[in-house]
Amino acid sequence: MSIEKIVEQALRDGYLTPAMEAEVGRICDTASELSIEEYMALDRLMGALLTGEVVVLPRKQFINVMEELVLTEAITRVAEIETTSDRALDVGDIAAYALNRLPPLYATTEEGANYQRARAKEELQSLIAKQVNEAISRSQAVPDMGSERVPISKSGGDVLSQVSALLQSSAPGFEGGDEGSPSEASLTASE
């Protein structure tokens, strides 16, 4: 959305939302130079803000206490595992997996966050630990592909030849003409 459209909407609605404010900021930060129309729109917005014709809606600050608790548990468990093995685990992947299986605990004040922390430690700590452990188990079960991972491209050749090349590198002899091995010709003929 352009600065002019954002200002028109703000003047029409009587308020500037945090999203509108962020978009104006993003446009101003990325533009090498603003047009005269954009400067005039910003001037109209500034005047409307100063007179109270447009008010800025406050940003609502909130936190998900569950993120904090899961990260703490994940970091503790990963540190324990990494001291006894040579495998590196991704704390972000582990936390995301666990968080997707746990209820959010949002709070908007420190008092609310303290309440959510106490409640979670009392009622949900074993569930948090279980989900983090499951995330770690799944993470350890995934083979480390390192820099060898290459996504299958949708352009520049057909998918069948890319899959064939992937199978060739992962399972030598798959299409090597061994007896009993399906060839590309028989695969395409059966489709």
pLDDT tens digits, residue range 19-63? 888 889 888 888 888 899 999 999 999 999 999 999 888 776 788
User: pLDDT tens digits, residue range 137-158?
Assistant: 998 887 665 556 666 666 656 7
pTM assigned to the model: 0.51
Beta-strand runs (E) in 93-138: 106-107
50-100 pLDDT, tens digit per residue, is: 999 998 887 767 889 999 999 999 998 988 888 888 778 888 999 999 999
Better pLDDT: 134 or 160: 134
Helix (H) or strand (E) holding 15: strand 15-16
Distance CA 151, CA 36 (A): 45
Domain extents for the chain?
Answer: 3-56, 63-141
Q: Are 48 and 13 in contact (CB under 8 A)?
A: no
pLDDT at 157: 60
